[in-house]
A and B are shown apart, each in its own frame.
Chain A
Amino acid sequence: MTKSFRGPMKRMPFHRQAHMQRGSAPSPILSPHLKDNVTALRAIYSEGSDVTFHTFHIHQAVEAVLIFHSTLCDTELLDRQILGPLIAWNPDSLLIDAAAIAGILPISSSTIVATLEEASLSISGGHPLLLLEGSSCALTFGLSKSEHRNVEEPTAEATLRGPREGFTESLAVNISLLRKRLKNPNLKMVSISIGEYTRTTVRLAYLEGVIEPSIVKEVMRRLSAIETDGILESEYIEEWITDQPKSPFPQMLSTERPDVVCANLLEGRFALLIDGTPFALVAPVTLFSMLQSAEDYYQHFIMSVFVRWLRYLFYILSLLLPSAYVAITTYHQEMIPTVLLLSVAKAREEIPFPALIEALIMEIAFEALREAGVRLPKQVGAAVSIVGALIIGQAATSAGIVSAPMVIIVATTGIASFMIPRYSAGLASRLLRFPIMLLAGTLGLIGMMLGMIVIVIHLCGLRSFGVPYLSPMTPTSSGLWRDVFWRSPIWANRNRLRGRHNGIKSGTPIIARQSSKK
Chain B
Amino acid sequence: MMKQGEISLAQMNIMIYPAILATSILSVPSITMAHAGHDMWLSPFWGSLVGLLTVFVALGLNKLYPDRTMIEASVSILGAVPGKLFGLIYMLYLPHITGLIIRTYGEFIISNALPQTPMYVIMGTMVLVCAINVRSGIEVIGRSAQIFVVLFIFLAAFLFVLLIGELHPADLLPIGEKGLRPSIVGALAPAAWFSEFILIAFLLPFVHNRSKVVRKSMLSVLYVTLSMVVTNVVCLLLMGDMTASFVYPVMIAARYITIADFMQHLEALVIALWISGIYVKISTFLYIYSLSIAQWLGMKDYRPVVIPTAFLCTVFAYWIARGKSDISSMISASANIYTLVMLLILPALLLGIGAIRKKIQKQRKGQTSP
Contacts and interface: CB of A to CB of B under 8 A. Distances in A.
B148 A456 contact: yes
A476 B263 CA distance: 34
Contact of B140 (A448, A450, A460): A460
B137 interface: yes
A331 B132 CA distance: 27
Interface string A444-479: 111111100110110011000000101001111000
Contacts of B1: none
B31 interface: no
Contacts of B147: 456, 460, 470, 473-474
A432 interface: no
A460 B271 contact: no
A457 B280 CA distance: 11
B276 interface: yes
B113 A450 contact: no
A331 B114 CA distance: 8
Nearest to A462: B140
B136 A460 contact: yes
A457 B133 contact: yes
B265 interface: yes
Contact of B143 (A335, A444, A475): A475
Interface in A412-452: 443-450
A337 B261 CA distance: 9
A334 interface: yes
B163 interface: no
B272 A445 contact: yes
A453 B96 CA distance: 25
A142 B193 CA distance: 77
B10 interface: yes
A337 B258 CA distance: 11
Contact of A470 (B132, B143, B275): B143
B335 interface: no
B264 A337 contact: yes
B10 A476 contact: yes
Given A337-B263, A453-B279, A454-B132, A476 B271 contact: no
Contacts of A460: 136, 139-140, 143-144, 147
Interface string A61-103: 0000000000000000000000000000000000000000000
B293 interface: no
B144 to A, nearest CB: 5
Interface residues of B, number: 37
Nearest to B134: A457
The secondary-structure label for the interface of chain B is helix
A461 B268 contact: no
A489 to B, nearest CB: 27
Given A335-B268, A337-B264, A461-B137, A450 B129 contact: yes
Interface string B121-151: 1100110010011001101100110111000
B109 interface: yes
Interface string B267-287: 111011101100100000000
Contacts of B265: 332, 334-335
Given A461-B136, A461-B140, A475-B143, A446 B114 contact: yes
A334 B272 CA distance: 15
A453 B130 CA distance: 9
Contacts of B125: 443, 447, 450
A460 B143 CA distance: 6
A468 B143 contact: yes
Nearest to A468: B143
**A interface residue count range (under 10 / 10 to 19 / 20 to 34 / 35 or more):** 20 to 34
A474 B143 contact: yes
B8 interface: yes
B263 A457 contact: no
A449 B125 CA distance: 11
B268 A444 contact: yes
Contact of B262 (A337, A453, A454): A337
A444 B266 contact: no
B117 interface: yes
B363 to A, nearest CB: 44
A337 B259 CA distance: 11
B275 to A, nearest CB: 5
Interface string B226-268: 0000000000000000000000000000000000001111111
- By CB atoms of chain A within 10 A, which of B114, B262, B263 has the most? B114
A456 B272 CA distance: 15
A450 B132 CA distance: 12
Nearest to A448: B272
Interface string B15-58: 00000000000000000000000000000000000000000000
Contacts of B8: 475
A337 B266 CA distance: 11
A332 B269 CA distance: 9
Contacts of A334: 264-265, 267-268
Interface in B94-128: 109, 113-114, 117, 121-122, 125-126
Contacts of A449: 272-273, 275-276
Interface of B: 8, 10-11, 109, 113-114, 117, 121-122, 125-126, 129, 132-133, 136-137, 139-140, 143-144, 146-148, 262-269, 271-273, 275-276, 279
Interface of A: 328, 331-332, 334-335, 337, 443-450, 453-454, 456-457, 460-461, 468, 470, 473-476
Given A331-B113, A450-B129, A456-B147, 4 more contacts: A331-B268, A457-B140, A470-B147, A476-B10
22 contacts: A331-B114, A331-B268, A332-B268, A335-B269, A337-B262, A337-B263, A337-B264, A443-B114, A444-B268, A446-B109, A449-B272, A450-B125, A453-B129, A454-B132, A457-B140, A460-B136, A460-B143, A460-B144, A470-B147, A473-B146, A475-B143, A476-B146
